[in-house]
Amino acid sequence: MTVANGRGFLSIPGPTNIPDAVLAAMHRPAIDIYSGDMLGVTRTLLEDLPKIFRTSGRAYIYAANGHGGWEAALSNVLSRGETVLVLESGLFALGWGEMGRIMGVKIDVLKGDSRRAVDPAAVAQRLAADTTHEIKAILVVQIDTASSVVNDIAAIRRAIDSVKHPALLMVDCVASLGCMPFEMDAWGVDVAMAGSQKGLMTPPGLAFVAANARARAAHQKADLRTRYWDWTFRDGEAHYQKYGGTPPEHLLFGLRKALDILMEEGLEHAARRHALLAEATRRAVARWAEAGALAFNIIRPEERANSVTNVLTPDRNPQPLLDYLRHKCGVVLGLGIGDLTGRAFRIAHMGHINAPMMFGTLGAIEMGLVALDIPHGAGGVQAAVEYLGREVH
């Protein structure tokens, strides 16, 4: 028996649910790339993206996924042979660093693990030891989607400043922009990048990079620049230069609608919504975890992200549970990845989601725990409902 027919629930941490209005905005014929609507959309997106990153700097739009955004960020500010410090806190900063290594920069990793946030004191210590300022840039993710940790970017900036180190601070906000506060200028972030398909509620295929004046100064002497990613080329007057070729028209119309939705809700409100739905999820997981078969991957509560929750299943492979949810309930959860493969699952609460969607996912998980006889504390969904009932007025 299955009860999966009906609206499917995609509860993976990207791509995320796309609002119907965003889908509808893309349902239109192709248009001329040199006139009319296309020019207006480009202009307003290039005006609004810096507002989302909270910077007075400039933003660039690439027809690319997040990995393309990584390459764009690195190639515009670095030169072959320079050293970059990667702050490990899961998988994604390491992946970004690995890309840099292949491009020809030296990668130095500040060791971390998949259950903890980056320790700002350790960052200060490592940078203090770099007396000749070999390190030119620091790579960190705000939310690591694999571990579900959130890093304190403002505290990392303070750590860098405490030892007066001049390295650029480069932040991956793919899984956090639109989901929690990000203050590029106020936090002293020099380069920030994101993708369309997570908190920004748009199909995969667009990457964004924002740069401040320090990043643009580094750009002047970067020798990893290539034509497609190059900021200077994209700053040119001709419209096709903004995209290094044909604009990804339909994705841009979708993004326009998604940013309208986000700006109408307000960034602060969206962050609060994510915080509430994340905490509701954590209340449920905490209740289930009482029986010992499930646990939070992230050890310290204050380091748990508001866009995704990684749940460890220490003594069993979660695959049967994921299969049950997919085939019997129509709910797709995220797998554990990296060193958590076969030992964890991930619940997304990112982007276009509301309380009933969250209850739907949590209710199905609890149903799966019952069906598969996985030991769990009862009343997880109840705890989530009660939490939101107390908080939302």
For residues 81, 138, 172, 40, the Cα torsion angle rounded to the nearest 10 degrees is: -70
Helix locations, the chain, DSSP H: 20-26, 37-53, 66-77, 92-103, 120-129, 153-162, 213-221, 231-234, 249-265, 267-289, 319-324, 355-371, 380-391
**Nearer Cβ to ligand PLP (92/288):** 92
Q: Are 162 and 186 in contact (CB under 8 A)?
A: no
Q: Which residues bind ligand PLP (CB under 6 A)?
A: 14, 65-67, 92, 141, 145, 172, 174-175, 195, 204
Helices 249-265 and 267-289 sit at what angle, rounded to 10 degrees?
80
Minimum CB distance to ligand PLP, residue 235 (Å): 25
Minimum CB distance to ligand PLP, residue 204 (Å): 6
Minimum CB distance to ligand PLP, residue 65 (Å): 3
**Nearer Cβ to ligand PLP (196/287):** 196
CA angle 255, 71, 297 (to 5 degrees): 80
Query: Shortest Cβ contact with ligand PLP: which residue?
Result: 66
DSSP codes, 58-89: EEEEEES-HHHHHHHHHHHH--TT-EEEEE-S
**Nearer Cβ to ligand PLP (172/279):** 172
**Nearer Cβ to ligand PLP (175/364):** 175
**Nearer Cβ to ligand PLP (195/368):** 195
Q: Are 361 and 11 in contact (CB under 8 A)?
A: yes
Minimum CB distance to ligand PLP, residue 140 (Å): 10
Minimum CB distance to ligand PLP, residue 94 (Å): 11
Minimum CB distance to ligand PLP, residue 98 (Å): 12
Minimum CB distance to ligand PLP, residue 280 (Å): 21
**Nearer Cβ to ligand PLP (64/331):** 64
Three-class DSSP labels, 81-137: CCEEEEECCCCHHHHHHHHHHHHCCEEEEECCCCCCCCCHHHHHHHHHHCCCCCEEE
**Nearer Cβ to ligand PLP (52/385):** 52
| Closest by CA position to 163, among listed 126, 128, 189 | 128
**Nearer Cβ to ligand PLP (66/112):** 66
Neighbouring C-alpha atoms within 13 Å toward the C-beta of 259: 20
**Nearer Cβ to ligand PLP (141/278):** 141
Minimum CB distance to ligand PLP, residue 132 (Å): 31
Residue 228, sorted as left (phi over 0), alpha (psi -120 to 50) or beta, turns out to be alpha
Minimum CB distance to ligand PLP, residue 177 (Å): 10
**Nearer Cβ to ligand PLP (141/385):** 141
Minimum CB distance to ligand PLP, residue 92 (Å): 4
Q: How far apart are the first and last CA of the chain?
A: 39
Residue 11 DSSP SS3: strand
